[in-house]
Amino acid sequence: MLPLISRSLAGVALALCVTLPAHADSYISRLLNKPVPGGVAVVDLGPAAQAPKATWQGKPVLVVKDQDARWLAIVGIPLTIKPGTSQQVNSGGRSLPFVVASKKYPEQHITLKNKRQVNPNPDDLKRIEQELDVQVRAYRSFTPGTPSNLLLDKPVDGPLSSKFGVRRFFNGEERNPHAGLDFAVPAGTPIKSPAAGKVILIGNYFFNGNTVFVDHGQGFISMFCHMSKIDVKVGDAVPRGGVVGRVGSTGRATGPHMHWNVSLNDARVDPAIFINAFQP
Ligand SMILES: [Zn+2]
């Protein structure tokens, strides 16, 4: 009897889809709309012949075309935002609201032998500040062009070892929360670009080690770090699946792993959302 029941349920679901407005049925909304700190808000901008521009908190946001010529703003929400607050996306003189829900992130305790990576010396701090500045500027770049794909490919095949957003304590001292997603994979594993893009920054940084930034378009940016080897240079166009480098343990890392950041409108968001692995 079960197959019959599920067939009739499928029929009901299909009928519902037909009667709902197109945007409510959008697969982009269904998969990406996770309006929590460190999440994504998908805001319907309505139909238009040309792509509308949209901003949030004064910064341009990614706009993509949905089915039936509707446009959607894909807004990155930083971890630092206060849950429960009502936010407005501005587009063409209109204010389009979304509300930030709450999400609890767990704690992680890590022991590092290299104490300088917990409490850097004054020279290190100077270096860290300069490197942060360069990286933030990369995150703020906003280039035209539609991303090749919003649902991203995993950059490596392997189990997740540390989730996004965990509050991290190094040798008992709290530091910045985890801004990306870690995959446990051996050193030397090729790292593949999860969407097409352009290499906008490479570097060897105090915390991130060997690092590559790939701009997928309109502020949608991937960063890979702790690499043993970088296989691209700034300005390179990378196809979807193109190798940007190899897994390593450079910078502040306890062993080889692949750390991946995803950023929208200069907000680091949970990469798990884009590979359909988000957990509320
Ligand atoms: Zn990490």
Alpha-carbon torsion (271, 272, 276, 280), positive or negative: negative
Lowest mean pLDDT among 5-19, 167-181, 225-239: 5-19
> Does 280 fall in a domain?
no
Query: Residue written as tokens 């049925």?
Result: 25
User: Which residues fall within 8 angstroms of residue 23, CB to CB, at 6 or more apart?
Assistant: 29, 44, 66, 70, 72
Banded pLDDT at 24 (limits 50, 70, 90): low
Q: How far is the CA of 254 from the centre of ligand 1 (A)?
A: 10
> Does 67 fall in a domain?
yes
Rounded distance, CA 270 to CA 274, Å?
8
For residue 129, give the 3-state DSSP assignment.
helix
Same-domain check for residues 64 and 158: no
pLDDT for 114 equals 82
Tell me the per-residue pLDDT of 148-161, one tens digit each, with 9 for 90 and over. Answer: 999 999 999 999 99
Give pTM, 2 decimals: 0.88
For 143-238, strand residue ranges (E) read 160-162, 167-170, 173-175, 181-183, 190-192, 197-205, 209-217, 220-227, 229-230, 237-238
Q: Is pLDDT at 16 greater than 60 in this prediction? A: no
Same-domain check for residues 269 and 157: yes
Say which CATH number the domain at 54 has. Answer: 2.60.40.1590
Stated length of the chain: 280
User: Which residues fall within 8 angstroms of residue 171, CB to CB, at 6 or more apart?
Assistant: 110, 111, 112, 115, 118
Based on the structure, what is the number of domains in the chain? 2
Q: How far is the CA of 181 from the centre of ligand 1 (A)?
A: 6
Helix (H) or strand (E) holding 11, with range, is helix 2-19
Exposure b/e, 135-156, CB count within 10 A at least 16 = b: beebbeebeeeebeebebebbb
| 114 vs 212: which has the higher pLDDT | 212
pLDDT for 50 equals 92
Same-domain check for residues 186 and 261: yes
Domain hosting residue 188, numbered range? 107-275
Banded pLDDT at 6 (limits 50, 70, 90): very low
Q: How far is the CA of 172 from the centre of ligand 1 (A)?
A: 18
Lowest mean pLDDT among 172-181, 214-223, 233-242, 243-252: 172-181
pLDDT for 25 equals 63
pLDDT for 120 equals 86
Q: How far is the CA of 46 from the centre of ligand 1 (A)?
A: 37
Tell me the average pLDDT of the chain: 90
Q: Is pLDDT at 267 greater than 70 in this prediction? A: yes
Give mean pLDDT, residues 182-195.
Answer: 97
Give mean pLDDT, residues 201-226.
Answer: 97
Same-domain check for residues 195 and 266: yes
Q: How far is the CA of 177 from the centre of ligand 1 (A)?
A: 10
